[in-house]
Amino acid sequence: MPRKKKTEEINHDENELNLHTHISGAGDVVRQNITDTLEVNYMPYAMSVIMSRAIPEIDGFKPSHRKLLYTMYKMGLLTGGTIKSANIVGRTMQLNPHGDAAIYETMIRLARGNESLLHPYVESKGNFGKAYSKNMQYAASRYTEAKLAPIAAELFKDIDKDTVDFVPNYDNSMTEPTLFPVSFPSVLVNANMGIAVGMASNICSFNLGEICNATIELIRNPDADLLETVKGPDFIGGAQLLYDRKVMEEIYRTGRGSFKLRAKYNYDKANHCIDIYEIPATTTSEAIIDKIIELAKAGKVKEISDIRDETDKKGLKITIDVKRGTDPDKLMKKLFKSTPLEDSFGCNFNVLIAGTPRVLGIKELLSEWIAFRTECVNRRVYFELNKAKEKLHLLEALQKVLLDIDKAIKIIRATDEESAVIENLMIGFGIDRVQAEYVAEIRLRHLNREYILKRTADIQKLRDDIEDMEDILSSKSRVKKIIVSELKEVAAKYDKPRRTEIIYDYETDTDVEVEDIPDYPVNLFFTGEGYFKKITPQSLRMSSEQKVKEGDSVIQSIESSNNSDLLFFTNQCQVYKAKASDFADTKASALGSFVASDLGMDPDETAIYMVNTTDYKGYVLFFFENGKVAKVDLSSYATKNNRKKLIKAYSDKSPLVAIRHITEDCEIVMRSTNGRILLLNTGAISPKTTKDTQGVGVMTQKKNHRLSEVEDYTEGMFAKPARYRTRNLPAAGSVLGKDDEAEQLSLI
């Protein structure tokens, strides 16, 4: 037996030797330049990863996403109930033969239950894990179920109408789309991250409604300022976006940049604990808890007695028990600085455009999507046009047969051979082979006038439709209108309120001390030359006549309290913030404080308007000489820290005429140098959160004329106020009526 075994081993070695002798170059050591190795072996691999794996395309998907969703679409999962995820994964392997684990992980991230996407494409049933937790792992595919979400219908709309190219799958047994003909810019609506070879992609998500509106605006005006429409990134996990306009401008322009996200929290005073319920999309609850524990063990955070993860079916919740006497806000400021509770999101809008990776800003990316969608619409219309022409061609043959049904029957009966029927019908009715085949296939029971009349009734409608579709293909403006209408439909169906709150002014200093401000009623006065007085009611009752400089006058008089905030807008588009308590109580007989000097304003800068508030509610209206009006939320000027000066408080594109602070909408009189008057209801203007917005056109100005005066409207100011009102803006206004002219003269 041992000898036989040894003989078998020898024979095996001889076979191995013979095999190697038949392979050319096997076992040889060959010298090769490293550059040749990189070019021949490494570069194809790198290109494969970039082109076919890691970088999303203009439809917003990587190949793995596309293969999974298309499989679900072909399985009919847009309608009906959910089915086992394992079934979906198995079917997807017909397009994506990379193992069930990779496919299932792709489905997990697309599912609603995982909470990765702002608008999930997959409806899930079962445990799909959570994106914000490493420990909450998803269940196996045999336990979960899934189907396509309603919004997925927008991915496949008209996919069967030659809107996109199809290619064979890996074994040439079926075809799959190279792109989805998405009817909205999904590439910016859902977050997408990929790491390729030598490059990467990291696209944050934006609000669907804002992106659709921005795309519509860009179609109508290629020079549109998208910062006015797209307020900022929006994440399904919410949190707070610390807004820096310069950073956002850079991201919107170049597609690169980094912004900060901050967690949201509540303080439970009864239980002495802080509940964190929203965290940045870039981190997890475990990472936050681990870092806080590390700080506590190192003695850097002594205010915390316990921390635990209380996440349940209601959502994320990290609870921090704090010691008695702890200031929760001060503690959170420290944690924001030292833990992932405040984290950065690095943007890299790298997208494959026609097979080439390109880093694009939002405007460029939307322009590329518009070009892509334009091609889809053109291809869809061209497909429908050809179908309509084919149908019309057949119906025209029926119309000819209608003229003499008996003749058609006679031709068929008189033909000796079946193969000659088509030729005889062609000759008898002057139709082509396709038409003759169609007529010959009609059943005998259908060769009656009623049937043929019903079928040919649509001929004129088909001709009209064909003419309309040909007009669409020749008109770029009509194609744009189609895209705009589809975007409006998508926004109306699927838009949701913003999840991520935008914080325009935020505090970073952890050592801010809050002073106790004595609170009592005061009267505030502001003059045209920038002087300010704070007078108590008792002092004002003793002497109410205000002393001012020669030529100066009081332009604002407000009843308020000593702990209110003051915002002084200047002639250099800046605003200086102060507390009423920062100014000493004075008397009516004094000139008061010169605001420009007391607040350290720049040379030649002076205060022109004062806003007094305690809750930052209401709006600030800016009226410009070009007739535009900007309506800005007063909350846009609120700051949590002690910042005294805010730049770009309002637009400098046109000279300022007037400023008004209103707590609710009212009517305001606008006068132009050409003598026209417009009575504006401020409710007709949409508020903005961007402080230096240019505003909207309200009062159109003729050449060499400008808006010259703004005043509050009071009842009885005009005999016929309806004369100066208008339904549509902008408007030129109306000249002074005769009744009002007489009233003006009588007043003089």
Catalytically active residues are 143
Q: Angle 476-494/208-220 helices, nearest 10 degrees? A: 160
Q: Which of 462, 403, 452 lies closest to 428 in space, CA to CA?
A: 403
How far out from the chain centre does Cα 318 lie?
29
Q: Which of 631, 535, 646, 637 lies closest to 591 in space, CA to CA?
A: 535
In 78-191, beta strands by DSSP E: 83-84, 122-125, 145-148, 166-168, 175-177
Place of tokens 């401020």: 682
Cis before 730? omega within 30: yes
Measured CA to CA, the distance from residue 623 to residue 694 in angstroms comes to: 10
Q: Say if residues 664 and 705 touch (Cβ distance below 8 Å).
A: no
Q: Which two tokens stand for residue 300?
A: 């850097």
Helix, strand, coil tally for the chain in percent (to 5): 40, 20, 40
From residue 416, give the alpha-carbon distance in Å to each of 401, 420, 422: 21, 8, 12
Measured CA to CA, the distance from residue 471 to residue 227 in angstroms comes to: 35
How far out from the chain centre does Cα 631 lie?
22
From residue 195, give the alpha-carbon distance in Å to each of 50, 56, 64, 118, 133: 9, 11, 14, 21, 21
From residue 494, give the alpha-carbon distance in Å to each of 80, 152, 472, 546: 20, 11, 27, 59
Measured CA to CA, the distance from residue 495 to residue 212 in angstroms comes to: 9
Q: Which of 698, 701, 713 lies closest to 674 in space, CA to CA?
A: 701
Q: Which two tokens stand for residue 448?
A: 């009656």
Give the number of other Cβ atoms within 10 Å of residue 228's Cβ. 15
